[in-house]
Amino acid sequence: MSHRIIIGLEVHVQLLTKTKLFCGCSTQFGLPPNSATCPVCCGMPGTLPVMNRQAFRLSIEAAVALNCTIAPFTKWDRKNYFYPDLPKNYQISQYDLPFSSNGSLEIETSAGSRTIGIIRAHLEEDAGKMLHDENAGRNDSLVDLNRTGTPLLEIVSQPEMETAEEAKAYLEAIRLLLREIGVSDCEMQEGSLRCDANVNLHVAQPDGSFVATPIIEVKNLNTIRGVERALNYEVDRQAAELERNLESGYWQIDTSRPGKFRDYNIVPIAERRADGTLRPVSKATAGWDERIGRTEVQRRKEEASDYRYFPEPDLVPVTVDETLLAQIRQELGELPAAQNARLQSQYGLTAYDAGVLSRQGRAFVAYFEIVANRCGDAKEACNWIINDLLSTLNERKLDIKLCPLPAESLGDLIREIKAIGLNKQRAREVYADMIDTGESVKQVIDRKGFKPVTDDNQLLELVRKAIAANSKAVADFKKGKTKAADAIKGFVMRETKGMANTETVQRLLLEELAKV
């Protein structure tokens, strides 16, 4: 049975503020437990939250960068639930009037680029952290409230991703974008970027309709690679589960509740109960176990969670005017998608090359532009940067900002290579030397004696010497083995330490061979 995969992602990112969303406690990661709390974030009675200006500003910046529509008026709501990591017993979040909606993000996969819709982005507070304590036969939980109240941006995508690879690309694109504009450091290991994935399958039926498997929300996704693996696993699991349960009669296709998805019809699954009646199979959550590489379906929710949202009376609404938005748009500068497009149009780079450069971030692209403009050959500049510079940086675990070779120097090197016809091997030698010594390309080439042999008479002499020293190759050439000329040419190149112009040598050699 062929199927379509439907994936929607809910991403939470911690904003790069110094303090929490509603109080002045530090948001620094890794502080001793419960050392960054106060009566406000601990939920003590009688305290009042006050919105962090920078958190709101960063949220708007992120939403503008995600092409969202920014609401001129926004408010906060209480989402009520009881859990030990939430001392107030409600989370201050946004319900019906989020500050942004209707955005989009461009992603790149092996299949090309696509635009994924974003339903909304809203600003809320993070909860504390729970640790499980299994000491002394007890199974208690330990709570650290340092994270409680940290500003969190929730970004909800449309259910538009169709492969695990696209989900991975979406996360990478969000991470690049938010890092570039300084909204979040997006460290999944430290929990500053977290992701829940909703996934199900629409399985094609002979009549042209599709059966929708129950939606599973996969939680506990701690790495981008983990998201991809979990989704691939979950897709296979749902396909097998559907086939197994339809075959056994435990599940039935419920034609009494037809629905629509985009431009086609879908029908849900129902569970056959002992008394023969049908009951809809509701959405469930699943945990991803990175270690064993499996999703574990937890209980299905009989009814939708009832969070009893209501407007937060302790916070006043916030308004956003065009002046602020215009200022933010201007300050954001060029975003990754625009940069990628410009690298292709302005420098004639392929989509692949432009993608590799723009994924490394703005500073990297700026480096490329200096090199390209200095040497006048964007393609060659890109090749050197992707093949050589990137490896150097990776080997030394360096950021481009700490690059040991200034962009101007690499530009000079590429220009010089072309000017004197230095071969790749020699060029790489000079490149490595420039990094080690910090000398200019001219200094290194002078020191190494890589002087091009441009004197035709000198080359002619060497060609004649080569012909004399390679009588067998000359005889082979005369018998029609044109390839034999390469051996003679190689002799000349060795004699000149590779510094002879190969085209000149070739021309002279053929002229001389004709005379033999």
Partner 1 sequence: MSLSADEVRRVADLARLELSDAEIALMATQLSAIVDYINQLQSINTDGVEPLAHASDVHDIFREDVPVVSLPPAEALANAPARKGDFYRVPPVFGE
**Tokens matching residue 322:** 């065009």
Shortest CB 99 distance to partner 1, Å: 13
CB closer to partner 1, 306 vs 395: 306
CB closer to partner 1, 38 vs 510: 38
Shortest CB 305 distance to partner 1, Å: 8
Rg (CA), the chain: 32
**Tokens matching residue 148:** 């409680």
CB closer to partner 1, 255 vs 298: 298
Shortest CB 95 distance to partner 1, Å: 11
The whole-angstrom separation of Cα 368 and Cα 33 is: 44
Label residues 69-105 b or e (16+ Cβ within 10 Å = b): ebbeebbbbbbeeeeebbbbebbbbbbeebbbbebeb
Shortest CB 307 distance to partner 1, Å: 9
Shortest CB 139 distance to partner 1, Å: 4
Which neighbouring-strand residues pair with 70? 100
Close Cβ partners of 139 (under 8 Å, ≥ 6 residues apart): 132, 133
Contact 195, 10 (CB under 8 A): yes
Q: Is 223 exposed, middle or buried (0-12, 13-18, 19+ CB in 10 A)?
A: middle
Shortest CB 48 distance to partner 1, Å: 10
- Interacting residues toward partner 1 by CB under 8 A: 17-19, 23-26, 32-39, 42, 50-56, 73, 75, 80-84, 97, 130-133, 139-145, 298-299, 305-306, 308, 311, 313, 316-319
Phi, psi dihedrals of residue 251, rounded to the nearest 5°: -110, 150
The whole-angstrom separation of Cα 66 and Cα 176 is: 12
Which neighbouring-strand residues pair with 319? 73
CB closer to partner 1, 320 vs 485: 320
Shortest CB 234 distance to partner 1, Å: 20
Residue with tokens 């396909």: 239
**Tokens matching residue 274:** 């002992």
Contact 40, 315 (CB under 8 A): no
Q: Which amino acid is at 339?
A: Q
Query: 3-state secondary structure string, 25-47?
Result: CECCCCCCCCCCCCCCCCCCCCC
CB closer to partner 1, 148 vs 209: 148
Residue in 315, 307, 325 with CA at minimum distance from that of residue 59: 325
Pairing of strands 278-280, 269-272: antiparallel
Q: Is 355 exposed, middle or buried (0-12, 13-18, 19+ CB in 10 A)?
A: middle
Residue in 300, 136, 283 with CA at minimum distance from that of residue 215: 283
CB closer to partner 1, 24 vs 348: 24
Residue in 298, 382, 303 with CA at minimum distance from that of residue 340: 382
The whole-angstrom separation of Cα 73 and Cα 318 is: 6
E strands, 145-283, in order = 151-157, 193-204, 210-212, 216-221, 251-253, 259-261, 264-267, 269-272, 278-280
Shortest CB 300 distance to partner 1, Å: 12
CB closer to partner 1, 47 vs 392: 47
Shortest CB 351 distance to partner 1, Å: 39
Our measurement of the distance from residue 12's CA atom to the centroid of its chain's CA atoms, rounded to an integer in Å, reads 15
Shortest CB 24 distance to partner 1, Å: 3
**Tokens matching residue 326:** 């215009």
CB closer to partner 1, 13 vs 513: 13
Shortest CB 299 distance to partner 1, Å: 7
CB closer to partner 1, 84 vs 258: 84
CB closer to partner 1, 240 vs 316: 316
CB closer to partner 1, 47 vs 245: 47
